[in-house]
Amino acid sequence: MQKYIKIIGWFIVILYLTLTPAGDIPKLSLLSIPYFDKVVHFTMYFVMSMLLAGYFHQFKKYSNQKILLINALLLIFIGGLLEILQYELPINRDCSLGDFAANTTGAITGTLIYLYWLKNTFVGKWMS
């Protein structure tokens, strides 16, 4: 169960940050920096993809290419679904192609960095 805690915890963070009504988001000066929200979207999916890659890496039957494909498809689907929910739910949030692109870029970048750089390091072992 402990292997899932980091993934589930981070997914809850993504859900909270993505589906919190606009009026409930604190007005922080960081949010006024141009494109800062894209950095947040990239980071959310970057971290999630590294956690998932670490999880899948422990199963030796998955090649790096298969892990990349699974992560990309899963996180692109989740990112797209959450963007649609932002539009459909009465939470005063917008569906954004830019946010979707940042999610996708973060997911693919995080997976690649994990698989080809971190998987055999202390960080990679902590994530798996």
Residues 18-35 have a mean pLDDT of 86
- The whole-model pTM stands at 0.90
pLDDT in tens, 60-111: 888 999 999 999 999 999 999 999 999 999 999 999 999 999 999 999 999 9
CA distance 89 to 24: 15
Upper half-sphere CA count for residue 11 (Cβ side, 13 Å): 12
pLDDT in tens, 70-81: 999 999 999 999
- Position with higher pLDDT, 51 vs 125: 51
Residue 110 contacts residue 66 (beta carbons within 8 Å): no
Which region, left, alpha or beta, applies to residue 21 given φ > 0 means left and ψ of -120 to 50 means alpha?
beta
Residues 114-123 have a mean pLDDT of 81
pLDDT at 128: 66
